């Protein structure tokens, strides 16, 4: 993945890349999101947690302009979402079950992540091909570029979608359950890739069921219940604590307030100030290329 201008800047400017104020959504005439306010900042990872049906995927879709708002507003990179055009800054990895790309080839899918950088009807330039190749290497699928999606395992398909998002070189990456169906080894690889991208200043919003290897990346957790934020603060330390948040509805700060990056991330969450200096392009994980899982 090639550096761009933003990569040269230290991750000190914590400007919001995504803000939502009082967002409500109805689906099928029923309220699904109720008065959601949140912010995600540059260089920050926010985990979105909550039980089945609490509204996580709907919130992600609303934040990306894929679902109409009943009330409230969303801003991306300071621009109200209705006027936002710079979609190459945004990468989105949907829940795997929501897409059907069975006949598409791996390199075509990853290549579609470059569309925001390319001119229409012009073949991919060397830079595009390089970025696509690097993205596939990073997720350990360089040797499967010509395969059709239906020839891959569920976890491999998920990694193709992650590669597509990486190829777009976004500044905000939104992932909806990226670890579902991905084995522990490849969850760890994903964690390593995301760590490098965070160090370069990317912001990440990630829906998770289980935190697992992504735990050290998470600065802040937002917990949903019945379409409301019931916690916005430190990552719950256990399933029990998460359950308590969901039951009691207490927050890391007053719920509904626009949140900032947490000053302290708790004992097991390292500060980004401690990450090593840049080592250039993302390195593919050496031991794991091309392995299949799930
Ligand atoms: N198109 C739709 N029409 C009506 N209701 C919907 C629609 N899509 C989702 N819902 C409802 O909205 C609620 C929130 O769904 P959503 O998929 O956002 O939850 P989630 O937290 O992502 O769940 P999961 O963890 O199971 O993926 C659920 O009650 C769901 O049934």
Tell how far the Cα of 74 is from the centroid of ligand 1, in angstroms: 20
Residue reference for tokens 């230290």:
10
Residue 56 CA, ligand 1 centroid: distance in Å: 8
What pLDDT does 239 receive? 66
Q: What's the DSSP call for residue 53?
A: T
Instruction: Answer whether residue 6 is part of any domain.
Output: no
- Name which residue sits closest to atom 17 of ligand 1, judged by CA: 57
Residue 149: DSSP 8-state: G
Provide the pLDDT for residue 150. 85
CA angle 138, 203, 52 (to 5 degrees): 90
pLDDT value, residue 66: 85
The two tokens of residue 66 are: 């894929």
Q: How far is CA 49 from the centre of its chain?
A: 13
| pLDDT for the residue numbered 100 | 60
Does some domain include residue 264? yes
Predicted ipTM of the assembly = 0.96
Measured CA to CA, the distance from residue 263 to residue 192 in angstroms comes to 23
State the total domains in the chain. Answer: 1
Minimum CA distance residue for ligand 1 atom 8: 27
The residue whose two tokens read 């916690």 is: 231
pLDDT at 17: 95
**pLDDT computed for residue 163 by the predictor:** 87
Residue-level pLDDT at 45: 93
Best CA proximity match to 193, nearest among 294, 112, 285: 285
What is the CB < 6 Å shell around ligand 1?
Answer: 27-28, 32, 50, 52-58
Of 33, 47, 53, best ligand 1 pocket probe by most atoms within 8 Å of the beta carbon: 53
CB-CB contact of 146 with 79 (8 Å) = no
**Structural domain includes residue 239:** yes
Residue 292, in any domain of the structure: no
CATH of the domain at 181: 3.40.50.300
Mean pLDDT by 10 residues, the chain (294 residues): 44 78 95 96 93 92 91 95 88 69 71 63 71 86 89 84 84 88 81 83 89 87 94 80 63 43 29 26 36 36
Length of the chain: 294
pLDDT in the model for residue 211: 74
Among candidates 103, 113, 111, 107, which has minimal Cα distance to 148?
Answer: 103
Question: What's the CA gap between 208 and 11, in Å, rounded?
Answer: 24
pLDDT confidence of residue 203: 94
End-to-end CA distance of the chain: 27
- H or E stretch at 215: none
The residue among 132, 126, 140 whose CA lies nearest residue 186 is 140
pLDDT for 25: 97
Q: Tokens 């001119």 appear where?
A: 119
136 occurs within a structural domain: no
211 found inside a domain: yes
Domain range for residue 41? 16-98+170-274
Domain contains 115: no
Host H or E run for residue 136: helix 126-138
Q: Would you say residue 103 lies in a domain?
A: no
């Amino acid at each position: 993945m090639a550096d761009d201008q933003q990569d040269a800047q230290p991750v000190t400017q914590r400007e919001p890349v995504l803000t939502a104020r009082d967002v409500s959504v109805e689906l099928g005439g029923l309220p699904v999101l109720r008065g959601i306010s949140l912010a995600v900042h540059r260089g920050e990872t926010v985990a979105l947690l909550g039980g089945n049906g609490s509204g996580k995927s709907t919130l992600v879709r609303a934040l990306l302009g894929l679902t109409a708002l009943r009330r409230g507003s969303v801003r991306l990179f300071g621009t109200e979402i209705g006027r936002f055009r710079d979609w190459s800054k945004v990468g989105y990895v949907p829940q795997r079950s929501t897409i059907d790309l069975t006949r598409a080839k791996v390199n075509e899918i990853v290549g579609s992540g470059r569309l925001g950088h390319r001119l229409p009807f012009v073949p991919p330039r060397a830079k595009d091909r390089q970025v696509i190749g690097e993205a596939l290497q990073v997720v350990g699928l360089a040797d499967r570029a010509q395969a059709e999606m239906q020839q891959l395992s569920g976890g491999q398909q998920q990694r193709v979608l992650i590669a597509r998002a990486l190829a777009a070189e976004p500044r905000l990456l939104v992932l909806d359950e990226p670890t579902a169906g991905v084995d522990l080894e490849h969850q760890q690889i994903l964690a390593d890739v995301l760590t490098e991208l965070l160090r370069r200043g990317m912001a990440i919003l990630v829906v998770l069921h289980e935190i697992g290897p992504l735990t050290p990346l998470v600065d802040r957790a937002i917990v949903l219940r019945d379409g409301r934020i019931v916690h916005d603060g430190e990552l719950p330390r256990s399933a029990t604590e998460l359950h308590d948040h969901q039951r009691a509805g207490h927050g890391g700060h007053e719920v509904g307030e626009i949140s900032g990056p947490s000053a302290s991330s708790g004992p097991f969450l390292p500060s980004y100030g401690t990450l090593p200096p840049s080592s250039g392009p993302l390195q593919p994980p050496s031991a794991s290329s091309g392995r299949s899982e799930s």
